[in-house]
Structure 1
């Protein structure tokens, strides 16, 4: 349906179509009275019988979801024939500019469904049907369902050409197998494709240890600390023992190499951890619930992913984690450090083909100590704070006159706090937020106001009322207790900046916010809420109600109100009788919609958001475009640009 071919690749595809019998016969099967008998094995959908390779596996950690299938490499080419993996019927087709792009679902007699995504073109009668429906509904993005007697396919039929549509980061075929409950199952185990040979065990890149309560320590410190493991054969070791005390959580960056000399890695779905030969944690990702993608935030370290872009598996079951991957775990995976002896920790990893490796390290017990000689110098004269779980950590440069003590002010009361640990260069204070929310903290005549205004439980609906905004948290919006920090300021241009939480804390559901603006907005047209990140802005929309700006967000962060008066830009790539192609961009609020007409008749325009390109697709390719072409492009703020041209 969508055509990403440039002139050169399009010519190559045309030659293949003209000369290859495989393509010439690649049409849908004629209707049959019943499906083939059960027991049909899955066919590899790209050049079956030839060696294949992958760019991703099921269960792999993505930034916002578990990867639900395998990504089959197409050698960076568009237009390879995509074969039906099993016989059945096309039950659904969707066309979107994001996500899966052009995607086909084939349902099979056993109730399972295969999915083929990021396609370039649909083939056969269904392609014509989809195009006619797009014209009938006057929409390029469409989602169609079919009955089992409409578009039957036999195993091996060519149903489409591979592409790069939707949110794809490069040409490939995304392939899913879904069970009757619409859970994605692992194709490498269910299908057992002979075309894919994997002899490489998983690799461990990093190990992280983190303290799980205020009295825990790693190398005499509170927090989270990363360690590199040395490779020994197929296994990994941390040679020196790690000092530890109390309750510890282990995290790991693990990847599964997919082929020799390949830059691509998959996820590691099978992980076990033992302490002194006793199993304490077991993870087996055999299937993925595609209806709950954000559950991944409870399995990986979200804060580290946001700050560094690195995805660590948590080898413990954190609060809010309801994933069904831990059936064999005897507990929740937290390690209680033995205070009397050194403990041996072994992490075993296995991929879908059974290739295995392990990571080994030792935990040496270390009692709590205040004087930690190895603390780095604290360069700032100001105080700094961070929140981990229920604990606020404050860092300061020590001074003798205060005896290194901190004053914690909470609703008029003062609590004197000894440093949890310190040396001549740095003092670290730990405060349990369950005992109260500090208004301010003072050390050595320096003060910090954390601006943590509320403790919000995760298991109930909650409404926060503040001077600057009101927030409605629906049920299960949070994964864990939230210590909500808020702030207000203005930038150099006078734009209001509202801080609501921190972007390193995930949300499961959208929250509703009502901003109480401090400046006037007399002309509210084209005025919207944006999330800020450095110098970039993400449009969120919103509406004015009784003088307040109301909007919804599924991410915490900093928000502002901006006015967008600039219309989208339209740049002509080509316009002639064979078609029209444009680049469309908007500098602030982003593209909302576009619509084209030829002589007043609606014209289908496909859209690739990655390249900001739209192009026409005629209802009848035998009829050239002739007459007045009009294109209107509208941004999210309501600004519209219009292009008109008469095609002779």
Structure 2
């Protein structure tokens, strides 16, 4: 498909006066942004690591370069070039009140490529985010706007596609809103019912998995669970479910969109994930049982809200979802789940506990290095030269947090290692770690940093700010840490050519780039001593320079210099000649 993007504000204004957009139904489904594929791998609202998935992921046959088209008339409002998050991304506004987003792109349509290339060279920035003048880059439905890729935080080639409300920039469910059609008449499946013991601690609630019950399918869309063997329950309980959805003609399983809990026919707790704000997306860690997922137990969706989890998707929330057990009579429960197309499943069961059991309260065995931290207040821990500050609202609920020595050994570590956590506790806000270098036996401040030790995954840079012989860093994840020292420069070398080679048959010059310690912090490229835009792909440990006739004169020798630095200030460079 030929790109028809226009550099013309007046065209867009004139076009809008007699635009078919005004005749289009606001709720009419957008076209498919990826004409070569209608296969999807993820739907809206799926809880991911630290966020809710905010769109639909289209499969691209494990390859890059599929044509991406505008599903609706509009104009480009934002262009991002980068190697984290959505990577190369494009944002469009449409006159019907919606915006669309396209992530992990390989490249843009030629007109957009030219625009963003000029911006990069003017600013001399490799990573760039530009906001073109309103309606400068216009598109019509069906125009080629980009090509699918694998850039940014993508774990494999695909197209990430979002629909947002332009006014709020809240992402919405494309399927449930009717703006993208995906035929489906398969009801969700429920596999387990989880019962939690609930204890109040200073105004916050502590939840502990009490029992996991297998669910039985009675018929399509109707499930039950045998609770006859449950004669005793905690005084207060809450529920969670393990459920998944399937979609006609699609591979894999998908997350459900909504669940309602009713007690004796009265709605007690309900959520629906059809829209959310990006300011609340990290609360996905509290929407599911984070510890269960970390422990490989499975993904449990909670039918209760943690003390610090003000999600807007909760439509009914009586007593935070907590249920007081009645030992005098049978209580009837119904859990109703729904997928993105409105297909429903019902789980019905009863509980008739004859007595209540004592709840297991969280406890600490060593007050010097352990605490019951609450989401409502700041907590601090001290242990052998390590100080940890947990601010208010960092936690979702009461948690037993400890510092302890660790036997884990990390590459470049020059101090003993220590663990803070456990790492099965999620964090909404960052905690502060302060390490006294003298107490840790560290007698140098040269190129040191606080590192997260990840076992077989190696080591990760956390921070390297030093204040009065104390190294300080913030992190939003518990784990095992140590002070490390990195004195080794990054590795950088050519990949697809050698010094002096004629590369007239190449479109790109590739460089291998890696750092085994503190990690890559920055990079720059220069052609004949002039700054040059270069792209970074961390997953492939590759820098890529695109050869362009307007930047590199063909047929003569050129010098390319690539400079790279890591997080502790070590610098490497490679200088080589080529003829294009």
Instruction: Give the TM-score normalised by the residue count of structure 2.
Output: 0.86
- Cα deviation for residue 242 of structure 1 reads 5.0
Query: Residues 56-112 of structure 1: CA distance to partner in whole angstroms, max 9, x if unpaired?
Result: 111111121111111122333322221112222111011111211111111122442
Cα distance in 2 for residues equivalent to 1:88 and 1:25: 14
Cα distance in 2 for residues equivalent to 1:626 and 1:460: 64
Q: Cα 1:634–1:540, aligned 2, differ >3 Å: closer, same or farther?
A: same
Cα distance in 2 for residues equivalent to 1:544 and 1:222: 39
Cα distance in 2 for residues equivalent to 1:55 and 1:65: 17
> Is the 1:514–1:551 Cα contact (8 Å) retained in structure 2?
yes
Cα distance in 2 for residues equivalent to 1:545 and 1:456: 26
| Aligned position for 1:530 | 451
Cα distance in 2 for residues equivalent to 1:571 and 1:166: 22
| Aligned position for 2:420 | 500
- Cα deviation for residue 360 of structure 1 reads 3.0
| Aligned position for 1:119 | 105
Q: Cα 1:105–1:242, aligned 2, differ >3 Å: closer, same or farther?
A: farther
Given candidates 191, 197, 210, the residue that maps to 1:205 is: 191
- SS of match in other structure, 2:245: strand
Query: Residues 29-54 of structure 1: CA distance to partner in whole angstroms, max 9, x if unpaired?
Result: 86332423435344323355x88232
| Aligned position for 1:32 | 12
> Is the 2:37–2:59 Cα contact (8 Å) retained in structure 1?
no
- SS of match in other structure, 2:315: coil
User: Which structure has more RCO (C-alpha within 8 Å, separation ≥ 6)?
Assistant: 2
> Is the 1:632–1:641 Cα contact (8 Å) retained in structure 2?
yes
Q: Does 1:341 align with 2:329?
A: yes
| Aligned position for 1:642 | 573
Cα distance in 2 for residues equivalent to 1:139 and 1:603: 9
Q: Does 1:63 align with 2:49?
A: yes
Q: CA RMSD in A?
A: 2.8
- SS of match in other structure, 1:479: coil
> Is the 1:214–1:432 Cα contact (8 Å) retained in structure 2?
no
| Aligned position for 2:299 | 311
Q: Cα 1:242–1:608, aligned 2, differ >3 Å: closer, same or farther?
A: farther
Query: Residues 371-407 of structure 1: CA distance to partner in whole angstroms, max 9, x if unpaired?
Result: xxxxxxxxxxxxxxxxxxxxxxxxxxxxxxxxxxxxx
| Aligned position for 1:406 | none
| Aligned position for 1:626 | 557
> Is the 1:43–1:156 Cα contact (8 Å) retained in structure 2?
no
Q: Cα 1:619–1:460, aligned 2, differ >3 Å: closer, same or farther?
A: farther
> Is the 1:28–1:158 Cα contact (8 Å) retained in structure 2?
no
> Is the 2:87–2:103 Cα contact (8 Å) retained in structure 1?
yes
Cα distance in 1 for residues equivalent to 2:343 and 2:276: 21
Q: Cα 1:510–1:214, aligned 2, differ >3 Å: closer, same or farther?
A: closer
- Cα deviation for residue 482 of structure 1 reads 4.3
Q: Does 1:189 align with 2:147?
A: no
Query: Residues 127-184 of structure 1: CA distance to partner in whole angstroms, max 9, x if unpaired?
Result: 2010111122222211111222311122222111122221122222211111111111
Q: Does 1:459 align with 2:439?
A: no
- Cα deviation for residue 460 of structure 1 reads 4.2
- Cα deviation for residue 616 of structure 1 reads 0.4
Given candidates 454, 478, 494, the residue that maps to 2:395 is: 478
> Is the 2:196–2:210 Cα contact (8 Å) retained in structure 1?
yes
5 Å matches for 1:250-399? 250-260=239-249, 262-308=250-296, 310-368=298-356
Instruction: Give the TM-score normalised by the residue count of structure 1.
Output: 0.78
- Cα deviation for residue 331 of structure 1 reads 4.6
- SS of match in other structure, 2:321: coil
5 Å matches for 1:82-231? 82-179=68-165, 180-194=167-181, 196-213=182-199, 223-231=209-217
- Cα deviation for residue 490 of structure 1 reads 6.5
| Aligned position for 2:219 | 233
Alignment: residue pair count: 547
Q: Cα 1:494–1:95, aligned 2, differ >3 Å: closer, same or farther?
A: closer
Q: Cα 1:582–1:224, aligned 2, differ >3 Å: closer, same or farther?
A: farther
- Cα deviation for residue 637 of structure 1 reads 2.3
Query: Residues 219-247 of structure 1: CA distance to partner in whole angstroms, max 9, x if unpaired?
Result: xx974332332333323332353514221
> Is the 2:306–2:397 Cα contact (8 Å) retained in structure 1?
no
> Is the 1:28–1:159 Cα contact (8 Å) retained in structure 2?
no
| Aligned position for 2:510 | 581
Q: Does 1:248 align with 2:169?
A: no
- SS of match in other structure, 1:189: coil
Given candidates 490, 503, 512, the residue that maps to 2:432 is: 512
Q: Cα 1:198–1:430, aligned 2, differ >3 Å: closer, same or farther?
A: closer
Query: Residues 467-519 of structure 1: CA distance to partner in whole angstroms, max 9, x if unpaired?
Result: 62334444532323444312246667873223333212222111222212324
Q: Cα 1:90–1:263, aligned 2, differ >3 Å: closer, same or farther?
A: same
> Is the 1:603–1:618 Cα contact (8 Å) retained in structure 2?
no
Q: Does 1:561 align with 2:487?
A: no
Cα distance in 2 for residues equivalent to 1:200 and 1:288: 25
Cα distance in 2 for residues equivalent to 1:39 and 1:515: 64
| Long gaps (5+) in structure 1 | 1-22, 216-220, 370-419, 421-428, 441-448
> Is the 2:371–2:402 Cα contact (8 Å) retained in structure 1?
yes
- Cα deviation for residue 462 of structure 1 reads 5.4
| Aligned position for 1:389 | none
> Is the 1:96–1:141 Cα contact (8 Å) retained in structure 2?
yes
- Cα deviation for residue 455 of structure 1 reads 4.2
- Cα deviation for residue 450 of structure 1 reads 7.0
> Is the 1:348–1:357 Cα contact (8 Å) retained in structure 2?
yes
| Long gaps (5+) in structure 2 | 202-206, 498-502
- For the pair shown, which has the larger CA radius of gyration, 1 or 2? 1
> Is the 1:528–1:542 Cα contact (8 Å) retained in structure 2?
yes
Cα distance in 2 for residues equivalent to 1:126 and 1:457: 49
Higher mean displacement: 327-336 or 129-138: 327-336
